[in-house]
Amino acid sequence: MSLLIDIALAALLILSGLFGLIGSWGLLRLRDPMQRLHAPTKATTVGVGAAMLAAALALPWANGSFSLGEVLVAAFLYLTAPLTALYLARTHMHRTVDRRSLPQPGTGARWASQDDTLDDA
Amino acid sequence: MLRRLFPHPLLSLLLVIFWLMLVGRPALGSLVMALILATAIPLLTARYWPDQSRLYRPWLLPPYLGLVLVDVIKANFQVARIVLFWPPERIRSAWVAVPVTLTSPEAVSILAGTITMTPGTLTADISADGKVLLVHALHAPDPDALRDEVATRYEARLKRIFEP
């Protein structure tokens, strides 16, 4: 039983490390900055998730105590990852993307970050 | 009166749960602290979140989160495969304008977050009238299929949660 748990924990940690590595590798390998943004925002969420799962499983097994902190770490990561990606994408668009190369909303309005009539733009 | 004390009841409930999870062991003192925070934080932030958004079918939220979690894991493997094995010139990245019919700002935010977390797509902007999301897709040979998937898989479910 102990061996099985150890194997499961090891597998989770290896998975976590692999996805962290793939995320970083994608950052190096993809060519366009918008493509690069996809690798770390997604490939690392499973990486951190697997590490947190391993930690959450290991603690009760090792000393009988129980902690939900790991669940919170994963939850806040999933809540904040889209926002980080959004701000990185917007900064990039603001600085280097030609606004004429983007598709238009088609409703008559402009994209919020390009609409100078919004006071918080 | 009760509404004025707790402008966002769901936020207060989540704060209590999060605080108790953070402390890690049940104790009366922690519960009191959790209740203080659950009262103070929504009151202090109420000016930045003036409108009340109603959940019409809150019990559909956990299944939605489960679906998104499974999709996030699938997305990770898809993106990993593209990063590891595809030659860069085969990747067809595209900007796609995805129309949104949801009206509640909270629902649109959840949809935008879901798009960012799931298969090879990332929300980059919203139109000034809040009706269209600008999505960047890592590999989207068919932008129409992407629009359909967002509409049927995620938006329809959110609509049932947030709208009557």
Domain boundaries, given as residue ranges, for chain B: 2-48, 58-162
Task: With a cut of 50, list the residues of chain A below it in pLDDT.
Answer: 120-121
Stated pTM of the model: 0.82
**pLDDT tens-digit profile of B33-92?**
889 988 888 888 877 877 777 778 888 888 998 998 898 888 888 888 888 888 877 888
Q: Is the ipTM of this complex over 0.95?
A: no
User: Any idea which of A112-121, B4-13, B89-98 has the lowest mean pLDDT?
Assistant: A112-121
Within 8 A of A78 by CB-CB distance, chain B residues are: 72, 117
| Minimum-distance CB partner of A22 among B84, B95, B123 | B84
Would the pLDDT of B18 be above 80?
Answer: yes
Determine contact: B113 vs chain A, CB below 8 A.
yes
Determine contact: B1 vs chain A, CB below 8 A.
no
Q: Which residue has the tokens 């008559």?
A: A108
Q: What is the Cα–Cα distance from B139 to B79, expressed in whole angstroms? A: 9
